[in-house]
Chain A
Amino acid sequence: MISYIIRRTIAAVILLLVVAAVTFGIFFLLPRLAGQTVDQLAQQYIGKNPSPADIAAVKRNLGLDQPVYIQFWHFIKGIVAGATYDLGPTTVHCDAPCFGYSFKTHVEVWPQLTSRLPVTISLAAGAAVLWLVSGVTAGVISALKPGSILDRLFMGVALSGVSLPMFFTGQLALLLFTFQWPIFGRTYVPFTENPSQWANTLFPAWCSLALLYSAIYARLTRSGMLETMSEDYIRTARAKGLRERNVVVKHGLRSVLTPIITVFGMDLGLLLGGAVITETVFSLHGIGEYAVKSIQDNDLPPILGVTLLAAFFVVFANFLVDLLYAAADPRVRLS
């Protein structure tokens, strides 16, 4: 068990390094391979018509004149141990984990990420609860009465939920519930300040996001339930004289939930890296929105930060899912 955790952690670290290297490479190596000079690269980060001295300063400050692998090394070192930037007359120290400064706004990346993370977590967690409850419930009901009106209704909604794009359902929800009938707030309020206000504002976003996911979960639950309810052990449970409700919940759903946990963990991990479209549509200043902005600006350090954070969440969620899976299914041994 312990050796399993150690092995998984090492694997996770390696994976994150690879992700970092690839992202780093895309932004630093590819332009050079495409023939761009260091000067041109540096020029992107200062205003128009820079003097050669400015460019040289940027090059030195950002370390652009060094070989790429050295730059990468500095970057990784910064995350682990913090970094000190020599800006000529002054030096700036940036504590670990240091993802550097935005080239454009010259704001430190990590505080940006941490300040935006609660928004993203709020969005993801709320939506997750909604879609898990509604999706699984709909799936179970559908599976117990396949072909019934309820089944058709749920599966119809599920189909539309999957096929309608987020920017459509999101805009629609925004239009109807925030502007047409303004029952929901417009600006995000942190949970710690006012929980009801927090939920009130986020609710349309949750619903839009949950509609998309609960559709997938309803289908997943339905097919899992249909399969499980024809298992031999369900017949055994019935042969004991258990009430059908207990058979469904204790014996049927218990088995179906295990694979759902797996998918759920990964979905949640992905969302924590930023629900790009949802955050944009609902003007939530989360990780996803940050990512979009940084990409538009070709602002490397934030992009690297967001990518690594997202990758971290996915890797971590996967790890957690595996542990959960082993806890849920006694047949699974972690080794």
Chain B
Amino acid sequence: MTELSKTGAAVGEPAPASPDGTAFLDVRDLRVHFPTDDGLVKSVDGLSFQLEKGKTLSIVGESGSGKSVTSLAIMGLHRLGARGKNVQMSGEIWLDGKELVSADPDEVRRLRGREMAMIFQDPLSAMHPYYTIGNQIVEAYRVHHDVSKKAARVRAVEMLDRVGIPEPHKRIDAYPHEFSGGMRQRAMIAMALVNNPELLIADEPTTALDVTVQAQILDLIRDLQKEFGSAVVIITHDLGVVAEIADDVLVMYGGRCVERGTVDDVFERPQHPYTWGLLGSMPRIDRDTTDRLVPVKGQPPSLINVPSGCAFHPRCPYADVPKDNVTRTVRPELQQVGTGHWSACHLSPEDRTRIWTEEIAPKL
């Protein structure tokens, strides 16, 4: 803990679990900034978290909260492409004992697809329209394995079969547009897992899918994780998906983590007003109440001029509860509020408990 305290945002972070001092995936004080004509976009601004193998972490947040940039940064993808030229990045990303931020880009490239893989929101646009599904999976395999096309094809069929695509030896020669949405996402998962990666990042993997297909895909991800024992990061805005699949939850707002804990902590005892807002905004299918929703007022913050103090204070109904205007002047650090439960909020524990149990929880 002392060792970590030198990185500002990580004050009081839980001690790393693995013996060599780092968790399997250990992100420390990650900052990713994009200079633009309008100013510096601080997409991720001091984010720390750990994830062990076999566990699923859900990163929750609205658009612009930095959740997708975080995943791209872990993969080293944010630097590629036109926008990545001037990206400024600091902090550390440890994956299985290797540090990625300072690593040689080509080294990170070799890890990409082999040790860490990613699946994306819209499988139709995420697959090349001109190549067959098989071709694309074979390519993913042969980047990291020196095998013949034939052998890679055998592997591709095997993967397609594993993710539940019927008649894989026939479907392998189909083009992405010939698949249905659910089948495409399965193929995408097959492509991501073809090299047995130990870290799988799924960026809104079911957002573009119908609800019945979503259920199939979530099930598949869960099963595959059990089978391969990989660490999974799921980025989503859907709290239903989070409750369904995650072990831990990280709530992001304005490029920072505002709350982190086990899925039970975050849903049962949320300790941040933004988390309350998310829970209150959500129409519930499992509740009979038809009361008005309790939305978060206002708009998400600009990442160029992040509000002073607590980035959430302009939208927070309790911004004036703590004394001395502290919410507007001091940026709250993550503090432990329970075992493995962290929150970055100026409200006192008593206030938080009172507001949650008396004001928020009854309305949900």
Chain A residues near B (Cβ < 8 Å): 146, 226, 229-244, 251, 254-255, 258, 328-331
The smallest beta-carbon distance between B36 and chain A, in angstroms, is 14
Select one of B80, B112, B122, B130 contacting A240, CB under 8 A: B112
A233-B125, A239-B77, A242-B143 known; A329+B130 contact, CB < 8 A: yes
The smallest beta-carbon distance between B81 and chain A, in angstroms, is 6
In this complex, which of A237, A243, A244, A255 has the most chain B Cβ atoms within 10 angstroms of its Cβ? A237
Listed A/B pairs (24) with beta-carbon separation below 8 Å: A230-B82, A230-B83, A233-B126, A233-B128, A234-B81, A235-B81, A235-B120, A236-B120, A236-B191, A239-B75, A239-B113, A240-B140, A241-B111, A241-B113, A241-B114, A242-B109, A242-B139, A242-B143, A243-B109, A254-B130, A255-B128, A328-B130, A331-B129, A331-B175
A233 contact set on B, CB distance < 8 A: 125-129
A229 contact set on B, CB distance < 8 A: 81-82
A235-B77, A241-B110, A244-B80 known; A330+B127 contact, CB < 8 A: no
B112 contact set on A, CB distance < 8 A: 238-241
Convert B174-207 into 0s and 1s, putting 1 for each residue whose CB lies closer than 8 angstroms to a CB of A: 0101000000000010011000000000000000
> Main SS of the interface on chain A?
helix
B77 contact set on A, CB distance < 8 A: 235, 238-239
CB closest residue in chain B, given A225: B82
A243 contact set on B, CB distance < 8 A: 109
B175/A330 in contact, CB under 8 A = yes
The smallest beta-carbon distance between B211 and chain A, in angstroms, is 23
B177/A232 in contact, CB under 8 A = no
The smallest beta-carbon distance between B210 and chain A, in angstroms, is 20
Whether B10 is near chain A, meaning CB under 8 Å from some CB there, is no
Whether B51 is near chain A, meaning CB under 8 Å from some CB there, is no
B128 contact set on A, CB distance < 8 A: 233, 236-237, 251, 254-255
B130 contact set on A, CB distance < 8 A: 254-255, 258, 328-330
CB closest residue in chain A, given B114: A241
CA–CA, A146 to B188, complex, Å?
31
CA–CA, A329 to B128, complex, Å?
11
Select one of B82, B109, B120 contacting A232, CB under 8 A: B120
CA–CA, A220 to B227, complex, Å?
48
CA–CA, A241 to B143, complex, Å?
7
CA–CA, A251 to B136, complex, Å?
10
The smallest beta-carbon distance between A231 and chain B, in angstroms, is 7
Which 10 residue pairs are nearest across A and B when measured between Cβ atoms?
A: A241-B113, A241-B112, A232-B125, A240-B113, A240-B140, A232-B126, A233-B128, A330-B175, A239-B118, A236-B126
Interface members, chain B 138-177 (any A CB < 8 Å): 139-140, 143-144, 175, 177
Whether B9 is near chain A, meaning CB under 8 Å from some CB there, is no
B125 contact set on A, CB distance < 8 A: 231-233
CA–CA, A234 to B81, complex, Å?
9
B177/A331 in contact, CB under 8 A = yes
Whether B217 is near chain A, meaning CB under 8 Å from some CB there, is no
CB closest residue in chain A, given B139: A240
The smallest beta-carbon distance between B174 and chain A, in angstroms, is 9
Convert B52-80 into 0s and 1s, putting 1 for each residue whose CB lies closer than 8 angstroms to a CB of A: 00000000000000000000000101001
The smallest beta-carbon distance between A101 and chain B, in angstroms, is 51
